[in-house]
Amino acid sequence: MVKPTPCTITDGACIQLSTNQSWVVRGDKIVHGPSKITHGRRGFETPLGNFPVLRKVKDEWSRPYNAPMPWSTYFTESGIAFHEGSLTDPSHGCIHLDPQAARYYFENLSIGETVQVVS
């Protein structure tokens, strides 16, 4: 039996900050993950709650931090997204994934789907 995620959603993405893990779920079943993540550092914390996928940009560039953000899947109006990034250094609020997971999230999460962030 697969251990369920700590989230209450049955479709979308689940993020657990305390364990640095994320999953994609469909019909209450885990279809991807757990994926290792990093999240927001002190002063740039990733917010908790439920958010809709807002937009996706394959080859994004962060102007504020002058850095690439491949496979960006945005889920907050303030610019927080899943994207390929360091799995050792905390982010400025985004959820960093390895290259394969970032692409999977980009290709498999639809606009409007829920991203749930729990502690």
pTM for the full predicted model: 0.95
Q: Is 94 assigned a catalytic role? A: yes
E-assigned strand segments in 1-119:
12-16, 21-26, 29-36, 49-52, 55-62, 67-74, 81-84, 95-97, 114-118
2-17 pLDDT, tens per residue?
568 999 999 999 999 9
Helix (H) or strand (E) holding 65: none
Amino acid at the residue 51: F
Give the model confidence (pLDDT) of 55-77 as tens digits.
999 999 999 999 999 999 999 99
pLDDT at 4: 86
Which ranges constitute the DSSP H helices of the chain? 99-108
Active site (annotated) includes residue 7: no
| Catalytic one of 7, 14, 83, 96 | 83
Query: Can you tell me whether residue 40 is helix, strand or coil?
Result: strand
Cis bond upstream, residue 47 (ω within 30): no
What CATH number is given for 14-118 in this structure? 2.40.440.10
Q: Is the backbone of residue 33 left (phi > 0), alpha (psi -120 to 50) or beta?
A: left
Burial class (CB in 10 A: 0-12, 13-18, 19+), 52: middle
Dist CA 9 CA 17 (whole Å): 16
pLDDT band for position 28 (cuts 50, 70, 90): confident
